[in-house]
Amino acid sequence: MVKKSGFVTIFGAPNAGKSTLLNALLKFNLSIVNKKVQTTRDRILGILTEDDYQIIFIDTPGTLEPKYELQKFMLREIKTSLDEADVIIHIVDAAKLNLERLKKTDEEFIEILKDKKRIIVLNKIDLMDKGKLLPMIETISKNFGYDDVVPISALNDDNLDSLKKVILEYLPESEFYFGKETLTNKSEKFFVSEIIREKILRYYHEEIPYSILVNVTEFKERSEDLVYINADIVVERETQKIIIIGKGGSGLKNLGNKSRQEIEKFLGRKVYLELFVKVRKDWRNNKRFINDNLSGDV
């Protein structure tokens, strides 16, 4: 039996639906989904394996003009992921598509993209006027250098099977890179930090910006049924620390309870979770701090 296996990088503007697409394709919530910009910070590998193929998806941060060290780090992650890919999925919000912006993005990454198989995915077609979809597909097909145009709704699982078929057309013949049961290359510790960060983004809304960092400092299995986890929530200002802790510690207690419940579902074990809030002034512009805490499997 001929096997196909390769790396497929998903990239696009913030909130285009990259993480939603990855989760939908894997049928598992591997990557954080939140309306805040730059929710995804580093590359997350999601692995989809069937009998004759293995697609290794790479979810990347949203493309943007970097203004500080954290965003520069994220841009490097994007470029590395594009360079490593066998196939590139450029996902766009079809309901808000700007062709000039699409052209600019193509030009910005042209040196990396020019030798790659490229699929443009028109996401959120459920939110647009259906009469505009075919003309949009025709315009992109004629004026841009994509190998395929695939309209989908990642949120509604609409046309994802067609997208997988297109991906498989361009996937190289190869033995599998990972075991058949492997879902990701990231550790449990990494996903624990992501779960806590997602809860902060969800429950604090606009009070706390996306510029928070969760660092799991201790992850110990006390028994087969119990895991002890210690995590620092790093913020940039004392006012942010006060907001997260809440009156009498109520905010941090609620965050801890919500996070623990989600982590227990993820690990399938009981969890003892301790959270601490620490202030690290202007950490987003501290290159060494970012590299130490975001590079690799944090």
Indicate if 161 and 204 belong to the same structural domain.
no
Indicate if 115 and 24 belong to the same structural domain.
yes
CB count within 10 Å of CB 125 equals 21
Task: Reply yes or no on whether the pLDDT at 83 is more than 70.
Answer: yes
Give me the chain's average pLDDT, please: 85
User: What pLDDT score does 19 carry?
Assistant: 83
**Dist CA 46 CA 184 (whole Å):** 5
Decide if 264 is inside a domain: yes
User: What pLDDT score does 223 carry?
Assistant: 83
Indicate if 195 and 158 belong to the same structural domain.
no
Burial of 209 (0-12, 13-18, 19+ CB in 10 A): middle
The per-residue pLDDT for range 200-215, each reduced to its tens digit, is 988 887 667 667 889 9
Indicate if 33 and 135 belong to the same structural domain.
yes
**Dist CA 200 CA 175 (whole Å):** 40
Cβ-contact 30, 43 below 8 angstroms: no
Indicate if 64 and 132 belong to the same structural domain.
yes
Contacts of 107 (CB under 8 A, 6+ apart): none
Indicate if 213 and 275 belong to the same structural domain.
yes
The per-residue pLDDT for range 208-250, each reduced to its tens digit, is 766 788 999 999 988 888 999 999 999 988 999 999 999 999 9
The per-residue pLDDT for range 41-60, each reduced to its tens digit, is 556 788 999 999 999 998 87
Element (H, E) at 216: strand 213-221
Decide if 183 is inside a domain: no
Closest by CA position to 204, among listed 230, 166, 157, 239: 239
Decide if 178 is inside a domain: no
Burial of 27 (0-12, 13-18, 19+ CB in 10 A): exposed
Task: Reply yes or no on whether the pLDDT at 69 is more than 70.
Answer: no
**Dist CA 293 CA 216 (whole Å):** 10
User: What pLDDT score does 242 carry?
Assistant: 93
Tell me the residue range of the domain where 226 lies. Answer: 188-294
Indicate if 260 and 288 belong to the same structural domain.
yes
The per-residue pLDDT for range 262-290, each reduced to its tens digit, is 999 888 899 999 999 999 987 878 778 77
User: What pLDDT score does 294 carry?
Assistant: 67
